[in-house]
Amino acid sequence: MPSIFNALPGIEVPVGSITKSLSKMWADTAARGDPAPASDDAKATQVNFVIHLGLGTTPEDAVAQFQTAEKFSRRYPSRVVVLCPLRDDAGVTELRAKVYGECFLGKSKGDTRCVEFVALSYPVAAREFLENQVSICLSTDLPLYYWAHRFTDTARLADYRYLLTRARRVLLDSAFAPVEAVTQTWPHPEAVRDLAYARILPVRQSLGQFLSRYPKEVLCSGLKAVTVAHGGEQSAEARVLLQWVKDRIGLCGENRAAFSCVSPAGFPAAALSLTFDYEGKKTFSWKGSFRSGIACFEADFGTGRTELKAALSILPPEVALSEAMFF
């Protein structure tokens, strides 16, 4: 299987001349008549973005995440550093580098947005030099965002303290991270964001808009249990949805409801549901399928039965990135 570094687009360059290679890349791009920044100022880079592709990343997945970062950069021009650890590094002692860049023309003639990628392949033997090389690749005076993707060992990731402590946001995806990553004590836990939580922003908004029509006393009085059910594809989304509901139900004060996340046999793979069980006759349920794009509310809080259909979606990966980074 090819390495993730080899699967990524770009021109391989000497590690010691990355900055010069980027300048030459843009000069060659302009000479071909393709969109290129007229100067460093024209790139209007807004963020430094480090993507750390863990050992669980396949070449195909690496390309998909590269494309996600590229789409993200059309809105937020970025200097992106992609870290590619070697799975089989026997006899390898040195770093390798690639550079890649692309400019996107906006709505006006002067609106040119550019992204620069630097991919670094490294063996364990070169680990001690990696963070110094990353710091050289980053643009100065810009915020740093760090995304650890499909890492397999939480303890090993915790060794990258330069990135974990300097980053304004540390992005994880609980759908692909080790279980202990959710409860790990990171250097700055307030900076950690879960992409699974960001993805379900439309779900949270839809549920919040529906439930906000009822006073919290009506929602919480007599509540015995809250259950989120999910199919095989949505376990991470189910877990973060349950925690979101639990946090908000907790605002009701003396609530004794039991909270659970279940995956019933035969439950549709790309579906989620949320159910409130009450003492007495009150009812609330919500169920949606991400494949059909439709969700259904059914509720009776003592003022008559309500049934409502609503659109259902999750955020595209590049939009989930911006949601997790900036909000």
User: What's the pLDDT score for residue 42?
Assistant: 53
CB-based contact 238:269 (threshold 8 Å): no
Rounded-to-integer distance, Cα 101 and Cα 202, Å: 32
Helices of type H across the chain: 4-7, 18-31, 40-43, 59-75, 127-137, 154-157, 161-166, 195-199, 201-211, 216-220, 235-249, 317-326
Rounded-to-integer distance, Cα 84 and Cα 149, Å: 11
Give the contacts of 125 (CB within 8 A, at least 6 positions apart): 89, 92, 93
Q: Is 316 in a helix, a strand, or coil? A: coil
Per-residue pLDDT tens digits for 92-126: 889 999 999 998 876 776 677 889 999 999 998 89
Structural domains of the chain in order of their starting residue, each with its CATH number: 4-195 (no CATH), 201-311 (3.30.360)
User: What's the pLDDT score for residue 211?
Assistant: 96
Q: What average pLDDT score do residues 190-217 get?
A: 96
* 40 has pLDDT over 70: no
Quick one: tokens of 303?
């003022």
Dihedral angle sign, alpha carbons of residues 163, 186, 193, 54: positive
* 214 has pLDDT over 90: yes
Q: b/e string for 219-229 if b means 16 or more Cβ within 10 A?
A: bbbebeebbbb
Per-residue pLDDT tens digits for 279-307: 999 999 999 999 999 999 999 999 899 99
Per-residue pLDDT tens digits for 237-292: 999 999 999 999 877 866 789 999 999 999 999 999 999 999 999 999 999 999 99
